[in-house]
Structure 1
Amino acid sequence: MTVGAAVGLGLVTLGGLGLIGMRLVTRRGSVAMLDATDRVLAGGDHAIRLADTVQFGADPAQHLQLFVPTGRMLDPALTGRTLPLVLFIHGGGWASGNPGDYRFIARMIAPQGYAVALAGYRLHPAARYPHMLEDGAAAIGWLAAHAAALGGDATKIVLIGHSAGAYNAVMLGLDRRWVAAAGGHPRRVCGMVGLAGPYDFLPLDDHTTIATFGHVAELRETQPVHHVRGDAPPVLLIHGAADKRVRPRHSMALARALAGSGARSETHMLSGVGHEGLIMQFARPFVRDRRALSLVLNFLARVTAQPAESAAESMPASAAVQPARA
């Protein structure tokens, strides 16, 4: 069966065989097809509105889409209120990925009362460390300057990333220099969510990390585990216990480092979930397993309920890793 046929089958039947078809597609890396199926099952994009799409840099990958919820009670254009900002950063080994393929994140999160930005960044081989961090910081800087006019509260920003994007999100929250250099007010970041991220990958031992980080003289500086600090914004780490691509030890290592620094964090291992399976839990029909989504929504509600400077008070001190229950 071709990829196109599998996608067609998943879109048409949406039953058991269609689910198998969608699993085949997502295993082949077609996030765009996952998003297309999510859009069909959601009945379109009626629950979200594209507030703006912008280029925040000269490279085509340096673009951002900002979505807000629709409806009389939520749409900032109708209520006159601003909403906490969620900035999602895609994965892809720092070499692939398109933020436009992750609109399912906006469909799932924005209707809960958030403005959701999907941001891209320069990719390898045209870019390497620290370009991904410079671009993430530039996206935050753009939001800080423009989001209020579009319905986003730039004083409450939560960074979320999957895989390589989780590395970007966590590093931007822990190492303030990147956001500060872009004029993004790092203290306005009130939380970070890392989904199956690599946080402690020395020595470099695969072509992806060698290509992206191998040129750095002081490799220790590239590792999130070496940037933990007690006054960091709250951190939520979620990892699939069955992840064979980015092993759970990465989240475990960062959890231990955060606990040792006195930072506020929580870590959850999802049994039976692999690398791709974790991000699939944010799209229909895979959201039937609500563990990851529930953890993220609960975290967002807590850390955005008060100013970013005091968001850490809404979380307990770093605790032992918790198994997430269905």
Structure 2
Amino acid sequence: MRFQLRRFFLIGLLPMLCSCQSIFFGAMNAGRASTSAITRTYAPDRDLKLDIYRPASSSASTPVALFFYGGSWRYGSRSEYAFVGKALAATGILTMVVDYRTAPQPAFPGFEADAADAVRWARDHASEFGGDVQRLFLVGHSAGAHIVALLATDAHYLAADGLKPRDLAGVVGIAGPYDFLPLTDPKIIEVFGAESEWPVSQPVNFVDGDEPPFLLLHGQGDRIVWPRNSEALEKKLRAAGIAVNYLRYPSLGHFRILAGFRYPRLAPTLRDTAAFINSTPGVAASKSRQ
């Protein structure tokens, strides 16, 4: 009975995320056993940091996940997403929750450059915390899902850090916008600039067969980022011969799918994300099978 009351309470909070973020994230982060994050600076010139959540035990093949949060590319803080880091770490995944610069300073593509730098840092340092750099995954929700999808499809961002999309073991996109033109919201237009530049912001425009495996999760009740975004990216990836699994969650909305990391009975987000990461082979193993 107590769980049911909590469940209904949280569901009632979810639609108010944009206006009552402190309430939502307070609910998501409340009542968890204390798990200390290790904070590191990954881009000293921009004072950008990430928080590292270590699993209780690790091995030579412990996977690593970099999580990028949403917030319309304008809002968010890594501390708000401690519940994601703790949840993934509890499944045996070394997890890094990453801050990045938000618009309007800088606008697109500044946050993509930040994300690429975070990947470079993780490749260089994950082994110090017990992670296998050959099993490096990107995970993102909403705008964060856009960031990781574009990073894994438009190769020039990672190339600036001496990497390529196939250096990633996989990508998990949760309720992400991947094919969202034309832009109509003035605040989103401010993020992506002149209309002539909009096409280079769309992950679907860069799928060419050099991508890592993808897992796409989307609630069919999402009216903030429409499911057609995941449908379009799945179609492009499949046509290019890329391994992709698109899981449709009936009736789920944009924020309840995120809340599934904290309360698995609300959504299977944690289960499906962890299953994909823990079952996907590392980069070296994948190459040896080709």
TM-score, normalised to structure 1's length? 0.80
Q: 1:255 to 1:27 in 2, by over 3 A?
A: same
- 1:312 CA displacement: 11
Q: Which residue of 2 aligns with 1:51?
A: 38
Counting only pairs closer than 5 Å after superposition, residues 53-202 of structure 1 correspond to structure 2 as 53-60=40-47, 62-70=48-56, 74=57, 76=58, 81=60, 83-184=62-163, 186-202=165-181
Residue 27, structure 1, aligned to residue 15, structure 2: yes
- 1:109 CA displacement: 1.0
Q: For structure 1, list consecutive stretches of 5 or more residues without a partner in the other structure.
A: 1-12, 315-326
The alignment partner of 1:108 has SS state of helix
Q: Which residue of 1 aligns with 2:277?
A: 300
Whether the 8 Å contact between 1:85 and 1:156 is mirrored in structure 2 is yes
**CA offsets, 1:215-255, max 9 Å, x none?**
26343222111111223100111111000001111111111
Residue of structure 2 aligned with 1:249, choices 228, 241, 245: 228
- 1:127 CA displacement: 1.4
Q: 1:132 to 1:308 in 2, by over 3 A?
A: farther
Letter in 2 for 1:205: T
Q: 1:112 to 1:16 in 2, by over 3 A?
A: closer
Separation in 2, partners of 1:312, 1:298: 22
| Number of residue equivalences | 288
User: What percent of counterpart residues are identical?
Assistant: 30
Counting only pairs closer than 5 Å after superposition, residues 315-326 of structure 1 correspond to structure 2 as none
Q: Which has the higher contact order (CA 8 A, sep 6+)?
A: 2
Separation in 2, partners of 1:259, 1:186: 16
Q: Pick the structure with greater CA Rg.
A: 1
The alignment partner of 2:37 has SS state of strand
Separation in 2, partners of 1:270, 1:254: 17
Residue of structure 1 aligned with 2:191, choices 212, 219, 222: 212
Q: 1:275 to 1:205 in 2, by over 3 A?
A: same
Task: Single out whichever of 95-104 and 28-37 deviates more from structure 2.
Answer: 28-37
Residue 288, structure 1, aligned to residue 288, structure 2: no
Separation in 2, partners of 1:59, 1:193: 26
TM-score, normalised to structure 2's length? 0.89
Q: Which residue of 1 aligns with 2:286?
A: 310
Task: Single out whichever of 120-129 and 31-40 deviates more from structure 2.
Answer: 31-40
Letter in 2 for 1:310: S
Whether the 8 Å contact between 2:175 and 2:227 is mirrored in structure 1 is yes
- 1:198 CA displacement: 0.6
Whether the 8 Å contact between 1:187 and 1:308 is mirrored in structure 2 is no
Q: For structure 2, list consecutive stretches of 5 or more residues without a partner in the other structure.
A: none
Separation in 1, partners of 2:123, 2:238: 30
Q: Which residue of 2 aligns with 1:260?
A: 239
Separation in 2, partners of 1:269, 1:199: 16
Whether the 8 Å contact between 1:51 and 1:150 is mirrored in structure 2 is no
Aligned CA-pair RMSD: 2.5
Whether the 8 Å contact between 1:188 and 1:308 is mirrored in structure 2 is no
